[in-house]
Structure 1
């Protein structure tokens, strides 16, 4: 029965016969030394080297996880854990399962998530490739802190402890290596109590290459961070493009601008118009992305964001879109009138050309807003809804 123990030590496993016995032995030794009522659980992800028998022979509880992936193995292990607290760590003997005292201390003190910090605890020679240590991990951890306002220095440390109830409430979904990032991101967005403890990383004891693939898994982590932060992926770039386009367009609306020997004129005006179009579309994507992620539980709901999203009703967006398109049609009509005045000959007036560029910008932007408004409203359609043909529920039992 779950919840009857204080601690479960979970190890995801895929062909770790060389190191699994040492990891399980250290973890069981830690439980015996500290007197903690706990268990060691190995979540096997399809090993073919006899890891399953090794786990059982050395006193671990074994579960078989059919769905492949680091995250899938960990999720299954967490779901099967009997402990109130869970400490997870790789079964490659790179982490010291005999010295988990700092993790347990913080968990007992009320922490929801306790992250190991390998940069504070020390990295043994050869334990981490140089491009992970000096490029990949620092860059991804910096982006994680920037995007999600979390103090975590080592986003991808594989040794971490947590309250099982708190982490299960985060509804973690990923099945690959990005599971580690998802846990930190959602814990930060959910404002859980996150702490860090120094952790030593040793060189793993395997003779084969690690499962981690630097560029593939690094991209998956980066992609995850971007997809879970519509502000940094869409909103901020959109605001820069929109603001820059409007500023440059306003400066050139009355005519060319000379800065030293350089003259900015119609061609720059066209570039500014394109920046406005791209900026508006990017901001619309940010709104749609935030609404989708919040509604379907990918990220926690936010009161301020929800108020803004509720204010952006389809009708209001359509009114703004129609206003822009009306402005565009008016400017386009003026341009056509100017062209007719010249007997539909060559248009050499830059003022006329700027009006046409403004007209097309307003028309395209208005159309984008209209389509984005409908797309955003589709997200508000309920997933489950009783059909008219379905029998009405019984008022006494609530059953159909």
Structure 2
């Protein structure tokens, strides 16, 4: 059994369909970051475990979800809860880690339409990914929001960022630790109707994320 951490803030409109499509052998953990739209109730009705996180921030939600995970195979996946990824792709992302071929597998977003990934967010992501490649040599082109790793190894990295800098800190720390990192293409869909991205939904959200990630780079 592989656990899947889904950081969540007001994703009720996406959760029922998303959780219904979770593949066999993948157990969802909703890491709820203060939703006010009934997301925890929707998740529980769908049979998912819900972990409530009082500290706000993407990194805080992911970290709490990983702490709560108890994967039988030791592997944890992280995936956005907004419907932009298909859970059917999780076995392909987790495969290299489960097979012992990689320590970290990252999904490289391949948008299925222009609406899936606004230009301002795509450009910001490309700039940061280029800096990571140049600084670390890691073969990554996306600061990936879908990934797989072994729980105990991830916790041993002792990641500290609790905001949107968390995925970038993970890549930099993985490089320092000598992790084998594999990047795989994954389709990236428009978010479910009725949900809004905290990152790509507005230019302000994207700028806030870039600010958090630049702070990680500066450290």
1:48 is the counterpart of 2:36? yes
> What is the match of residue 104 of structure 2?
113
Distance in 1 separating the partners of 2:218 and 2:7: 26
> What is the match of residue 202 of structure 2?
none
Q: Structure 2 matches for 1:22-37, cutoff 5 A?
A: 22-27=17-22, 30-31=23-24, 36=25
Report the Cα offset of residue 85 of structure 1: 0.5
> What is the match of residue 100 of structure 1?
90
Report the Cα offset of residue 171 of structure 1: 0.2
2:217 to 212, 225, 230: 225
Write the deviation string for residues 62-100 of structure 1: whole angstroms up to 9, x where unpaired.
111111111000000000001110111111000011222
Higher fraction of strand: 2
Distance in 1 separating the partners of 2:194 and 2:44: 23
Write the deviation string for residues 337-384 of structure 1: whole angstroms up to 9, x where unpaired.
xxxxxxxxxxxxxxxxxxxxxxxxxxxxxxxxxxxxxxxxxxxxxxxx
> What is the match of residue 146 of structure 1?
134
Report the Cα offset of residue 159 of structure 1: 0.8
1:71/1:206 CA distance change after superposition, 3 Å: farther
Contact 1:92 1:206 in 2 (8 A): no
Larger Rg: 1
Distance in 2 separating the partners of 1:122 and 1:65: 30
Higher fraction of helix: 1
Give RMSD over aligned pairs.
1.3
Distance in 2 separating the partners of 1:225 and 1:177: 12
Contact 2:105 2:149 in 1 (8 A): yes
Could you state the TM-score of these two structures normalised by the residue count of structure 2? 0.92
Write the deviation string for residues 292-334 of structure 1: whole angstroms up to 9, x where unpaired.
xxxxxxxxxxxxxxxxxxxxxxxxxxxxxxxxxxxxxxxxxxx
Distance in 2 separating the partners of 1:143 and 1:42: 31
Count of paired positions:
211
- Of structures 1 and 2, the one scoring higher in RCO (CA 8 A, sep 6+) is 2
> What is the match of residue 88 of structure 1?
78
Q: Structure 2 matches for 1:112-191, cutoff 5 A?
A: 112-118=103-109, 121-133=110-122, 135-154=123-142, 156-191=143-178
Contact 2:94 2:147 in 1 (8 A): no
Distance in 1 separating the partners of 2:167 and 2:211: 14
Structure 2 gap ranges (5+): 200-204
Report the Cα offset of residue 216 of structure 1: 1.6
> What is the match of residue 285 of structure 1?
none
Secondary structure in 2 aligned to 1:99?
Answer: helix
1:13 is the counterpart of 2:8? yes
Distance in 1 separating the partners of 2:195 and 2:111: 24
Structure 1 gap ranges (5+): 1-5, 228-400
Report the Cα offset of residue 226 of structure 1: 2.4
Report the Cα offset of residue 123 of structure 1: 4.0
Distance in 2 separating the partners of 1:64 and 1:88: 16
Distance in 1 separating the partners of 2:15 and 2:196: 16
Write the deviation string for residues 205-258 of structure 1: whole angstroms up to 9, x where unpaired.
14353212011211221221122xxxxxxxxxxxxxxxxxxxxxxxxxxxxxxx
Write the deviation string for residues 250-281 of structure 1: whole angstroms up to 9, x where unpaired.
xxxxxxxxxxxxxxxxxxxxxxxxxxxxxxxx
Structure 1 runs of 4+ off > 6 angstroms?
Answer: none
